[in-house]
Amino acid sequence: MIRVTVWTEFDKTDIPAPVAAAYPDGMDGCLGSILGGKDFKVTLANLFDADCGLSEKLLNDTDVLVYWAHSRHGAVPDDAVARVKNEVNKGMGAIFLHSAHHSKAFKALTGASGDLVWREIGEHERLWTATPAHPIAKGVEQGFVIPHEEMYGEPFDIPNPDCTVFLGWYAGGEVFRSGVTFTRGCGKIFYFQPGHETFPVYYQPEIRTILKNAVLWAAPSYRRVQLGCPNIKTSPEGIEGKL
Amino acid sequence: MIRVTVWTEFDKTDIPAPVAAAYPDGMDGCLGSILGGKDFKVTLANLFDADCGLSEKLLNDTDVLVYWAHSRHGAVPDDAVARVKNEVNKGMGAIFLHSAHHSKAFKALTGASGDLVWREIGEHERLWTATPAHPIAKGVEQGFVIPHEEMYGEPFDIPNPDCTVFLGWYAGGEVFRSGVTFTRGCGKIFYFQPGHETFPVYYQPEIRTILKNAVLWAAPSYRRVQLGCPNIKTSPEGIEGKL
Amino acid sequence: MIRVTVWTEFDKTDIPAPVAAAYPDGMDGCLGSILGGKDFKVTLANLFDADCGLSEKLLNDTDVLVYWAHSRHGAVPDDAVARVKNEVNKGMGAIFLHSAHHSKAFKALTGASGDLVWREIGEHERLWTATPAHPIAKGVEQGFVIPHEEMYGEPFDIPNPDCTVFLGWYAGGEVFRSGVTFTRGCGKIFYFQPGHETFPVYYQPEIRTILKNAVLWAAPSYRRVQLGCPNIKTSPEGIEGKL
Amino acid sequence: MIRVTVWTEFDKTDIPAPVAAAYPDGMDGCLGSILGGKDFKVTLANLFDADCGLSEKLLNDTDVLVYWAHSRHGAVPDDAVARVKNEVNKGMGAIFLHSAHHSKAFKALTGASGDLVWREIGEHERLWTATPAHPIAKGVEQGFVIPHEEMYGEPFDIPNPDCTVFLGWYAGGEVFRSGVTFTRGCGKIFYFQPGHETFPVYYQPEIRTILKNAVLWAAPSYRRVQLGCPNIKTSPEGIEGKL
């Protein structure tokens, strides 16, 4: 069983009307519903929970963190960011969705700015699989259409990814590395571009297939304790110090 | 001074009419004219020269090989392919253009199939810089238009590149990793998608800037002799054998 | 069930005495015995079989090819090499052992020379895990000793690996990237340095753990048909040609 | 001319005696002296300067930051770390030396923990070049000896490097990826293991060659302004919004 925490920045009692219109069960509810059945244990968390929904205990008990945020990146305190980064390094998977490219946690894990260009006219996007053998692309049709999406365009300021799984094409003329993977420590990271909060993208079957694949892929087979920097006083070869 | 060999598959005395229409001086002539002045020494070579234009001597005297081929990949003998691969491993730069994705040399150097999807209706392409800091992207405008190009689409079967410099957007709906780099041994490799033989793409200023940048980038600062597999009989630590 | 083909270069009826001394059941027999039980179906093949043990049918029916060769690389015909390369690109896993760094197949898949430096005095090697979270490193003790091994030292002429799983330390003073992974097309590749034919390295428990892990890791979840280069005549966006 | 800032954590008026013994001119003085002549403009800075020696103005005027620190990582405030990270993303080169693997800046740029194992008995290290064609390895002898060094061993918790330039061998039995490169945004990063503060490592000619090479390599040819996330309101293709 994979323990998934779906984290969003919304106050459940105060969701903006356009978001509620697109996601009547909340973005977290919609995302969580992708991972049904006995294979997954889903926890919904958000910025307004205790420890802003990113407590040490919850992260310790999380196999894969699914992270959606847009306008409240600044409200996440640095110690919560440090906990996420540390837990990913220990093996927790992390899936950063859409505008989470600018979350403190994504920037802390990649070491880059996450900058990009954008446009919000609701143009359609096509999603192409660049690496069909990647587990996240399993069962995904080539070039399927997302009817309305916010455009995110290159240059996307990220380190060279381990794998460019998906590329996005926009009607307006731009392209984007829409699905990319990274490794940090023992943790697997997937960034996925689709999912503007006012379009019901996460209800789309192809997108749901991708996200379920991503959670399965990011779930750790190995979770380490903190490495730290141990002093190995005795040399394996049994040599003495020369000082 | 950088010694550049521009290699094409055409018989100078028998160039197909549509190619001659787009490239009155030949594709090699057009490509060679990008690299004028005293900083470059350009040699034009082709499949119909001695040793099919890829002799050991010529490759030894080449800093950067610019390689354009489409329909005659099969005519290049395996020993010529081996010479190109070996010379790149020793440090020669190589720029594979357009349909050279399916050349024996590109496939030998990448270890992949170079497969892709394609369409030839002359749609326009936009070229986006994904990695603005890469020397090959210097001075290149974001999203510039190539008025007519053959579409090459994903999945592009290549190893994960060292750098994805450019991404292509096609009016018809596809995307492509249009400019990617690899390293093999001491040699730098750049694959660049634009340049169908019936469109005058290599006369376009932005393309010429990119190709000149690419030659400057791929020129080796280091050219090794053949490594081979030397037997280091005496251990640096002076230990005796245990056998 | 994972179908594994263990391939060696030895004529079963004429194994050199020092090899037979270290491997009374043959190197292939020893390697095959790592993969017992109902989870694996092991086939032993060698250079002296029909199609030099690398027939299209056998490769088609192989999930992971384990490849050991040393002094007979030149005897493998180019079309067999092409079949291995093609099948890896389609998804077959491949594990190249020890001196297979210089096999035609490894060089064809990496695009590099595979050159290195070596010494054969039977010094001991320590194997260190650089990437503990990699599945191939599961359950492997840090810095374990291989009592006698042929030294393989840097520079190892390979492309930048996807992952450096293991590093080797030699008593004589050298180091080596002893366990590295690559991806080509849909296929996973693992190169592993230990395993000189006159030392019983493949009987050592830590080595057997690594090799079993490697086979499990390299087994494809996806096996494609040949991609080729399909012509997508109708554009997804329904545009007409401009020519 | 390359503007180099050499930063250390030492209070110039209160350098520990063992450090002063090994580096009579200070570690910064020794490091700065590598970069003499008219090709370099060297500034020495440290933790006890204004803005802890990492002011926005100084970083703006720095092409390559050489960073040595060991026991005072915690004293560097987070806003200084953010300035370093931001400036590297804009193009400033950064060379992290020895124990700077655990500096906040290195961890912020790599996204990893930088953890490793260590031992301080002054054993000797051999440095091997894994990638001879890399500019940082130019003119460096294979396997040269550092007479006394603190051992840093694997696993070294870093993202897969762009290039593993050097590997270290220790008399005590460990190995290490002693010289590795990364790219973040437009900035080049080199981590280099040698240089314990009580051994005169930075006076050793081979080490000085490497560090000079590294500064030349890391100097930016391109320095961007802050990217930010611009809103591209008008689509290149001139389409209207669909909302």
Three-state DSSP class for residue C237: coil
Tell me the two tokens of residue C179: 């366990």
- Kindly tell me if the per-residue pLDDT of A243 is higher than 70: no
Rounded Cα–Cα distance for residues D211 and C117 (Å): 26
User: Which one is predicted more confidently, A23 or C228?
Assistant: A23
Q: Min CA distance, A177 vs chain B (Å)?
A: 9
Q: Please say whether the dihedral angle defined by the alpha carbons of residues D155, D160, D162 and D163, taken in this order, is positive or negative.
A: positive
Q: Do C109 and B111 touch (CB under 8 A)?
A: yes
Rounded Cα–Cα distance for residues C61 and C54 (Å): 11
Which of C201, C203, C157, C153 is closest to C178 using CA atoms?
A: C153
Neighbouring chains to D with at least 3 Cβ pairs closer than 8 Å: A, B, C
Pick among B142, B162, B217, B222 to test the D interface (most D CBs inside 10 A): B222
Q: What digits encode the pLDDT tens for the residues C19-75?
A: 999 999 999 999 999 998 899 999 999 999 999 999 999 999 999 999 999 999 999
Q: Min CA distance, A98 vs chain D (Å)?
A: 14
Q: Min CA distance, C29 vs chain A (Å)?
A: 31
Q: Do D229 and A157 touch (CB under 8 A)?
A: no
- Judge whether D220 is closer than 8 Å to chain A, CB to CB: no
Pick among A141, A167, A221 to test the C interface (most C CBs inside 10 A): A221
- Judge whether B185 is closer than 8 Å to chain D, CB to CB: yes
Cα nearest neighbour of C161 on chain D: D160
Which D residues in the span 89-128 are in contact with A, Cβ-Cβ below 8 Å? Answer: 89, 102, 108-113, 115-124
Which of D101, D108, D6 is closest to D58 using CA atoms?
A: D6
Residue spans of beta strands (DSSP E) within D109-236: 117-119, 125-129, 144-146, 151-153, 163-170, 175-184, 187-192
- The domains of chain D are located at 2-115+178-218
DSSP for C208-220, please give it: HHHHHHHHHHHS-
Rounded Cα–Cα distance for residues A182 and A106 (Å): 11
Q: Do D123 and A242 touch (CB under 8 A)?
A: yes
Mean pLDDT of chain D: 95
Burial of residue C2 (CB within 10 Å: 0-12, 13-18, 19+) is middle
Minimum-distance CB partner of B126 among D221, D224, D236: D236
Quickly state the pLDDT bin for C229 (edges 50, 70, 90): confident
Q: What CATH number labels B2-114+178-218?
A: 3.40.50.880
Quickly state the pLDDT bin for A36 (edges 50, 70, 90): confident
Burial of residue A206 (CB within 10 Å: 0-12, 13-18, 19+) is middle
> Cβ distance A93 to A219 under 8 Å?
yes
Tell me the two tokens of residue B179: 């400019």
Cα nearest neighbour of D90 on chain B: B133
Q: Do D169 and C173 touch (CB under 8 A)?
A: yes
Mean pLDDT of chain A: 95
Pick among D101, D163, D243 to test the A interface (most A CBs inside 10 A): D243
Give the B:D interface size as CB pairs under 8 Å. 37
- Kindly tell me if the per-residue pLDDT of A55 is higher than 80: yes
Helix, strand, coil abundance in chain D, percent, nearest 5: 30, 25, 45
Give the whole-number percent of chain D exceeding pLDDT 70: 98
**In sequence order, which residues have a C-beta less than 8 Å from that of residue B28 and are 6 or more positions away?**
B6, B7, B8, B10, B44, B45, B46, B68
DSSP for chain B, please give it: -EEEEEEES--TTS--HHHHHH-TTHHHHHHHTTS-STTEEEEEEETTSGGGG--HHHHHT-SEEEEE-SS-GGGS-HHHHHHHHHHHHHT-EEEEEGGGGGSHHHHHHH-S----EEE-S---EEEEES-TTSGGGTTPPTTEEESS--EEES----PPPSEEEEEEEETTS-EEEEEEEEEETTEEEEEE----TTS-GGGSHHHHHHHHHHHHHHS-S--PPP----B--S-TT-PPP--
pLDDT at A223: 78
Which of D62, D150, D69 is closest to D102 using CA atoms?
A: D69
Q: Do B155 and A126 touch (CB under 8 A)?
A: no
Q: Min CA distance, D36 vs chain A (Å)?
A: 32
Minimum-distance CB partner of C117 among B78, B102, B229: B229
Q: Do C155 and D167 touch (CB under 8 A)?
A: no
Q: What CATH number labels D2-115+178-218?
A: 3.40.50.880
pLDDT at D243: 59
pLDDT at B36: 84
pLDDT at A17: 94
Q: Do C132 and A162 touch (CB under 8 A)?
A: no
CA distances from B79 to A138, B54, B56, C86, C171 (A): 39, 10, 10, 20, 40
User: Which one is predicted more confidently, B227 or C205?
Assistant: C205
Mean pLDDT score, C83-112: 97
Helix (H) or strand (E) holding A152: strand A151-153
Which of D154, D161, D158, D190 is closest to D175 using CA atoms?
A: D154
Q: Which residues of C touch D155 (CB under 8 A)?
A: 128-132, 142
pLDDT at C228: 80
Rounded Cα–Cα distance for residues C190 and C210 (Å): 11
Minimum-distance CB partner of D111 among A111, A124, A162: A111
Q: Which residues of C touch D160 (CB under 8 A)?
A: 162-164
> Cβ distance D30 to D23 under 8 Å?
yes
Q: Which residues of A touch B162 (CB under 8 A)?
A: 160
The amino acid at A98: H
Q: Min CA distance, C186 vs chain A (Å)?
A: 5
Tell me the two tokens of residue C132: 């503990």
Three-state secondary structure string covering B134-198: CHHHCCCCCCEEECCCCEEECCCCCCCCCEEEEEEEECCCCEEEEEEEEEECCEEEEEECCCCCC
What is the CB neighbour count within 10 angstroms for residue D27? 28
Quickly state the pLDDT bin for D145 (edges 50, 70, 90): very high
Q: What digits encode the pLDDT tens for the residues D61-106?
A: 999 999 999 999 999 999 999 999 999 999 999 999 999 999 999 9
Averages of pLDDT over each 10 residues, chain B, 243 residues = 97 91 96 93 97 97 97 96 96 97 98 96 97 94 97 97 98 98 96 97 98 97 77 88 63
Q: Do B154 and A167 touch (CB under 8 A)?
A: yes
Q: Min CA distance, C81 vs chain A (Å)?
A: 22
Rounded Cα–Cα distance for residues D69 and D84 (Å): 14
Rounded Cα–Cα distance for residues A90 and A79 (Å): 16
- Judge whether D154 is closer than 8 Å to chain A, CB to CB: no
pLDDT at C157: 96
Q: Min CA distance, C125 vs chain B (Å)?
A: 12
Going across the sheet that includes D64-68, the strands are D40-46, D2-8, D64-68, D93-97, D187-192, D175-184, D163-170, D125-129, D144-146
Minimum-distance CB partner of D185 among A113, A230, A231: A113
Which of D198, D174, D189, D26 is closest to D103 using CA atoms?
A: D189
- Kindly tell me if the per-residue pLDDT of A135 is higher than 70: yes
Tell me the two tokens of residue A170: 């926009």
Rounded Cα–Cα distance for residues B35 and B44 (Å): 12
Tell me the two tokens of residue C46: 């060698």
Cα nearest neighbour of B163 on chain A: A160
Mean pLDDT score, A231-238: 90
Neighbouring chains to B with at least 3 Cβ pairs closer than 8 Å: A, C, D
Rounded Cα–Cα distance for residues A132 and A154 (Å): 22
> Cβ distance C159 to B159 under 8 Å?
yes
Mean pLDDT score, D109-137: 96
ipTM of predicted assembly, 2 dp: 0.95
Which C residues in the span 40-59 are in contact with D, Cβ-Cβ below 8 Å? Answer: none
Residues forming a β-bridge with B191: B96, B180
pLDDT at C86: 96
Minimum-distance CB partner of A154 among B130, B160, B173: B130
pLDDT at C37: 84
Cα nearest neighbour of A162 on chain B: B160
Which of B121, B122, B101 is closest to B113 using CA atoms?
A: B101
Three-state DSSP class for residue D120: coil
- Judge whether D3 is closer than 8 Å to chain B, CB to CB: no
